[in-house]
Amino acid sequence: MDPQSTITPIVAPRNRPAQTFVTAVDKIRGMPGRNVYTVLTETANRCGNDVAMYQPTGRAKDGADYRRYTWNDWAKTSSELGLGLRALGLAKGEIVCILSETRAEFYLADLGIMAAGGVAAALYTAYPMADLARNIHASNPRFLFVENTKALSSLAKAAQDQNVALPEHVILMTESAAGYQSLESLAELGRELLARDPGAMDRIQAEISPEDNAILYLTSGATGEPKMGLTSHAAVIANIDMGPAVLPIGIIDSTVVFLPSAHITQRIALELLPMRMGTPVYFSESLSRLPAELRAVRPTFFLAPPRVWERMYATILSEVKKRPMVARKLFHGALGLGAEAARLTREGKPIPGWMKRALKVANKLVFQKVRERLGGRLRIAASGGAPLAKDLAEFYAAIGMPLIEGYGLTEAGIVSFNPLDRPKPGSIGKILPGVEARLADDGELQLRSPCMFRGYFHDEAATRSVVDQNGWFSTGDIAESDADGYWYITGRKKELIVSSNGKKIYPSRIEGLFKMEPLVNQVVLVGDKKPYVTALLTLNLANIKGTKNGDHSDVAQNEPLQKAVKEAVARVNKHLADFERIRRFKVLERDFSIENGELTPTMKIRRARVLELHKDLVSELYLGREESE
């Protein structure tokens, strides 16, 4: 296989004028000759037998039983796996697919593939097996890592149904089965090769150039069909080398991880950055166990998508509503005090002495109990993978646990992060050192950095449509920046609603306001080429008395619930201009789902698919006269 055949060159001219241009200072100095695997060996040389990874065994009832991997274990095992792949005939530049939940064996295999000069391509486990079979067939690998026999059996059936073959070499990651390699048998092949040829890994490392491909990302496909983006060792290393300046984690820190490893947030911020910094990682056994794991592990750094923070907020408010009036007043009074203190801190103003004393009491009686849900030791709570509502960020800042939001893309890496000492709610933070940003005439954010991908796999036209001849990448996001250098995403270019009277409406901003309404789960705004704005809603029924979680079937007959939904919509409408207000809405009988194609694996809503599936309801929203509040 010719590895260069997988690279789409970035050469297409697009002379787009720019309104603003921002260049970050303090450029990161690159170190020649490094690849992603050598970053692991650097950490192993520093941290040696310190524990790097904690993988749940599933044996203990309380979930506290872990298999531990030291940094030396990780580097040695990944080296053996890489040599094992070479022993089976892997060539430099070949794509190797991984179908696995995020776990220690994924990290071992991922670095093993890159150590061998291969290109690691993680698959979204939440996708239907038929889609995964197509993804694998499209990338044409000869090697495939699969978590267990159950996943392999389902994948094999899906491949058979589509009349496509599985790759020649299948490696089971957590089990053994006749006719397949296991991680242990693959590592044994590597040890045998090393015994015959002690200099084998050194020669392989000498072959790998920083400009060689390291990772093939599958985009989540929020605004269209998923594409595959190739990223080099140099781009990955440039991105994680930016980490220490903005996310100072180290050997005394720890984190709990659960996001899909196919997503760039998990791969860069929760696998490769901790690897560079020597920060140990605990793997979550399951989402249902995550709350207990956070309390047991007591991490100092935790990154989660907005959905996690939204659900925690909804749970807190639901619990507060059940408390006596005195407790409710105490909570809301403390929250108001915390919000004012957070505002003063953001503005660089001193907090008055009386407020400090009152906050000390509020912290002990209210806020500390909330923070203990996450173990009580968090010094960095971060949100990523999707936009975070400003009001939600302000809530967490008020309880003394500010959420640090960043911004990144599959094609450009992680490009911005809020300063830990002065995060701004609603902002994606400041552009990272070494990254350049500018706005096009229509407000679209464009980026250029050493973290940029090399192009879409076998899709030159798609690459040329987003990257110009000077290396500027058009993100598709509408953005703005303030006088302090903080950036804000105000909407998606493709999702812009233009009403029939020409008014422009950015749905993401309005949909974000609903994240402070615990009753509302998901929202999609409708209104393009229409006379007014409407909405499709799903509800969070988990904490609503008399309803079953996920069962929306009786909502239409439930008058108190309908009234509560109308009140939630009215509260949101108060924050909107007249032309933005939601005039009608429909509550759906089920949540949006990955299975129906309405959500990406990272829980972003696929707006076009939602509107396609619910077009009859949308039509009903525009029958008859417009409703007003």
In a domain, 101, yes or no: yes
Listed residues 208, 235, 267: the one ending a domain: 208
CATH code of 605's domain: 3.30.300.30
* pLDDT, greater one: 274 or 532: 274
Q: What is the pLDDT of residue 29?
A: 39
Domain total for the chain? 2
Nearest to 525 by CA among 614, 597, 602: 614
> Please, are residues 518 and 314 in contact by the beta-carbon 8 Å criterion?
yes
In a domain, 285, yes or no: no
Q: What is the pLDDT of residue 17?
A: 35
In a domain, 273, yes or no: no
In a domain, 382, yes or no: no
In a domain, 474, yes or no: no
Residue 403 to residue 303: CA distance in whole angstroms: 9
Residues 6+ apart with CB under 8 A from 601: 124, 125, 126, 127, 220, 260, 262, 263, 594
Question: What is the pairing mode between strands 403-409 and 380-383?
Answer: parallel
Mean pLDDT of the chain: 87
> Encoding tokens for residue 29?
């100095």
| 35-80 pLDDT, tens digit each | 999 999 999 999 999 999 999 998 766 556 899 999 999 999 999 9
Listed residues 208, 225, 260: the one ending a domain: 208
In a domain, 562, yes or no: yes
Within 10 angstroms of residue 307's Cβ, the number of other Cβ atoms is 17
Q: Assess whether pLDDT exceeds 80 at residue 22.
A: no
H/E element, 438: strand 436-440
Residue-range definition of the domain harbouring residue 115: 36-208
Nearest to 513 by CA among 602, 574, 589: 574
CATH code of 52's domain: 3.40.50.12780
Q: Assess whether pLDDT exceeds 70 at residue 32.
A: no
CB neighbour class for 318 (10 Å; exposed up to 12, middle 13-18, buried from 19): middle
Listed residues 208, 231, 264: the one ending a domain: 208
Nearest to 492 by CA among 595, 351, 606: 606
Mean pLDDT of 431-459: 94
Q: Assess whether pLDDT exceeds 60 at residue 547.
A: no
H/E element, 333: helix 325-346
Mean pLDDT of 86-92: 98
Q: Assess whether pLDDT exceeds 80 at residue 390.
A: yes
In a domain, 120, yes or no: yes
Mean pLDDT of 281-291: 93
In a domain, 586, yes or no: yes
